[in-house]
Structure 1
Amino acid sequence: MLSRAGITLRTKLTLLAVASVAVTVLATFSLSALHYWNARDREYTVAVDRIEQAAAVYADRIEDAFRLIELDARVLAELPTVTDLAMADPGAARSQLSDLRSRLGAVFAGLITVRPAYTQIRLIRAADNWREIVRVNRSGDDVEVVAWDALQIKGAEPYLAAGDRLGAGQSYFSRITPNRENGQVTGPPTLRFVRPVFDPEGAFFGVVVINADYENTLLSAQPRLAPSDRVTVVNDAGDYMVFDNAEEPPVMRFRADPDWVPPLGLVVDGPQADEGPLTVLNDRLLYRLPIRPGAAHQPFDHQVITEYAFGSILSQARQTLPAEALLGTCLVLLAGAVATVMGGQIVHPLIRLNARIQAARDTGAPITFPPGEGDEIGHLADSFTALTNDLVRENTRFHAIMEGAADAILTLSPDGLIEGLNPAAEALFGWPAEQVTGRPVQTLMPLELSVERPAVHRGLALTARRRDGTEVPLEITVSASEYAGVRQVIVVARDVTERHRADRAVADLVAKLERSNAELDKFAYVASHDLKAPLRVIDNASRWLEEDLAEVLTEDTRESLGMLRGRVARMHRLLDDLLRHARIGRHEQPSREVTGEEMARDLAALLDPPDGFDLIFEDSFLGMTMLNTPLQTILVNLLSNAISHHDRPRGTVRVSARDLGDEQVFTVADDGPGIAPEYHRKVFEMFQTLKSRDEHESSGMGLAIVAKYLTLAGGRAEIGSDTGRGTEVRIYWPKSGAGTTQVAA
């Protein structure tokens, strides 16, 4: 059938099909190109954000490692023991100085044990050409408190040149150099931190120096990396360490190494190119971020270089090209069929698609379009749906991060006006987001920003005020970003109330411990001096009375004076035992291993059992190896009890031993009177005796001293006895902790 113009309907449909094919092909390739470039830009932006965040995270971790060294040095320099050493007269009794040095050495050793990167902690006195007072070394897992005779003079060391010019609160890191002992290089490149020490009068005494293995310090901040990421930390001397998934573990590359080559993106011995922090080099995207120094002076600089393979950035976008090409081919093949569909059939799917797009726009939900339409409109709807749903997913992911973040996050305009808050920020400050949006950030916290260039802060401490008027301490990070030509300031705030409370609790516990130690020292002094002085006066006075009144004294009065002196002697022994009990566990004394035969000889010499008593050491005891301290004291008390409480002129005491693997069992058995079960625990308490002190002279402290030694060592005691004959006391002594033992001073 022909039209009025002589063109048949078939021709019109063909022309319509041709026109439809041409338009479809053009639209398909335009949409594919737009999709490709949008995906490329989106992936590039994500990659940039990723390497910027990786650089910031690792830079923060390195800064935290340096700040931890500063904090440890400050705490050590302010210890009371350090102050006592600063006040002590260098010519004072060596025992007094040795006690202070031992206590400080124990603190240094405890800290170096929990800091794997630390290799040495020292207290150095400026007098005597910078002489070491206390030094603790670390070699692998071994920690050593260096003896006095092995301490060194450090006046020639460059890192101490500015030590005596430091004021209160000042400190510095020295340059990174190999560790030296007695002028010789003995260790790896070392990071040293110097903190001054002043006596209570404000006079300069010396410095606390912390040595840290430079390589291990950087390794302690090792980041977690994705397969295609690489992070390099480099100092101004050209030394660097590369973290990636190809080199395990990371190795420090020093400029002095013969095989040293500069890391990617670093110009050595020449000016750095002024390309800004973000550059593309050798098909890799690089981001450089300087590491901000802490409060202490640092004679060196660091920067973090994060890398990302540029090809990986475009891989996802390139992967969409075959799919888009296939989609275009399908649309071309179906274009002729679509051209035959009349106006109403063509317009109807478009109207449905538009309605679904508007509904998704209003609700924010992903677009759903029924598949299987079989025409170009259906495929076009699928492509547009996929593109739109990608954007919806990105927006949903962003909101999920903001909603789920535990820290408060605020977005600000460059001039400091609040643009948004996440739920954590609403909970922290007590303000709904809609009520503070558009208001100055000073509504929530005292933060000042420059309109031209907002400052970037990390770890900034502020005190904010909630809506209810209460104050809350914060640690905040301020960063700036720019997207689509719009600048924005991001503030991340963390509530550090619990951290402050924990710090105060630690300070309170330290203060209580110091007070407790001071009270115990005072008690020991009173017990050893003030309380014994009146006893000596009473004893002397009774003897003078007996001499002066010898002619008129009767037997009763002489007996009373003798009883008086006996009570004085008992009180004197009680004070000695009480003082010994109080001092247990306050000092460390080296303990050595001895054989059972050596221990048996020493015990026999100390006890000197009276005639009629047999002290028998069985082969199981003689053949065992044991610690001499404080086992000797424990066994002396047990054997003395067995002999002194025996109710007959003749008796036998046997000592045996067993090895149970992780502990040793020592048994003291006698054939004297038994102990009723109800007294098995009571006899280990202070001042407890089973007989009147008039019947048996005793302070009642012997088994209490044994019990305290066992408690400190993690051991235990058992009594096997009843009201019949014989008592068996078993001591379970753990093998752990050999080498040093807590003993009474």
Structure 2
Amino acid sequence: MFDETNKTNTQVINQDLLALEAVNKSLSEENQRLARQVEDVATANARSAELIAALEEDNQRLACLAEDVAIANANAAELMAKLEEVNESLKVEIDRRKTAEQKLRQINSEIEEKVQQRTAELTIANQRLTEEINHRIQIEQMLREHKQRLDTILSLILTGVVIVDCETHEIVDVNPLAAKMIGLPKEQIIGKICHQFICPAEMGKCPISDLGQTVDRSERMLLRPNNQKIPILKSVTIADWQGRKFLVESFLDISEQKKNEEHKNQLLVKLENVNKELNELVYIISHDLKTPLRGINTLVNWLSTDYAVKFDNEGRERIELLLSRVSRMYNLIDGILQYSGVGRIKEVQVKVNLNELLPGIIDKLAVPGNISVTIENELPVIECEKGRISQVFQNLLSNAVKFMDKPQGQIRIGCVEEESYWKFSITDNGPGIKEKYYEKIFQIFQTLLPKDEIKGVGVGLTVVRKIVEIYGGRIWVKSKLGEGSAFFFTLPKYEVGVKNEKLEACFAY
């Protein structure tokens, strides 16, 4: 724009200069003509002087020449008029020339101002262009460094990464691990359409870009050129780069996990079958053992009754020891049946209001008068098997009552609501438990007192732990010797009876 304006102004100036040159040439020619006229006037004046001199010398000649002088004066007047006319024209021409020069100076001033303004604009534009170039150089350097870091990260991460154009579904980049999993060099992968190449989906049926699905840690299949399918754990994110959308796919080869999972499932099936067989075997053996035990118990009672007078003190002690051992054996079989029944016998799940369930359990325990049992706060309503949850509270409360050694015993039942589970507690002020026995008390047939001093066989807490773990919770104890114990267990807030059947079967024995 500036160049076109400057060119136009220059043309105008050149035209004005040509006009001035023409005027100057005309003035020069006029000046030459005037000069000749002036010379003629000068010549006439000289001649007049000569005539005057001659008149002075010769009056006679003056009279003769008077007529010539008059003619000369007339010519001089004519010349003077012409000279005035020429001077007037010259003045007009000078004024016009001054006007043209003033206009030319104004044009030059405007041109100079515009040149300065344009120069300043060009300087600023050049400075901005330099800054932009430097900025782009820095960005390009940063992009190169970023790409190098990204390439390094992609080459080191333990997942395969494939970048696909959302519109064309063309593969634009892969990392080394993805290329290794696909089984082709990177150069032979980039540019290929992902459909029916590495992805089983057909064109137009892409789960993400066509069907709008979300793929996040989903189990999928990766195709290889030899038509082999590799199980993968796949996640896909949509990224927007420079106005174009890409699918960033990351995946893990889970072939080994699948094999291990299949092997694990096979082992679980075998374990379930073995546990089922063991459970049935234990039930049959325990049930069959009770018959001879009842016979032995009847026989010993008959001997102690009918032949009491024939036994001395040692004999009677042996008979009583035999009866206690038979009773213990009977209790052990009952314990085994009770423990095995936890995983074998299933009930219908119902909503259980623990505020209504606990008072009935406490009444059945026939708690001695010197022991108070208190429910400290509102208990929740949970959906579970009523018999199992009753057994948990009954066994824990029964233990607290059985081992209470204080004249004023206190047992407190409480519950705290956590984010995803309920935490129950049963606290007593009994004898307490040493820390080294915290785990032992939950093992089957383990007791802290000599077996002859207690009636139980060490199954109650084992059954409680088994039930709680089947429900997806856990149980633990905190205690201080001489001050009492606190048993805690958790139950998830979802339906506690809903549990993996295979896992539950593993607890069956």
TM score, norm. by length of structure 2: 0.46
Q: Is the strand fraction higher in 1 or 2?
A: 1
Q: Is the helix fraction higher in 1 or 2?
A: 2
Q: Which has the larger radius of gyration?
A: 2
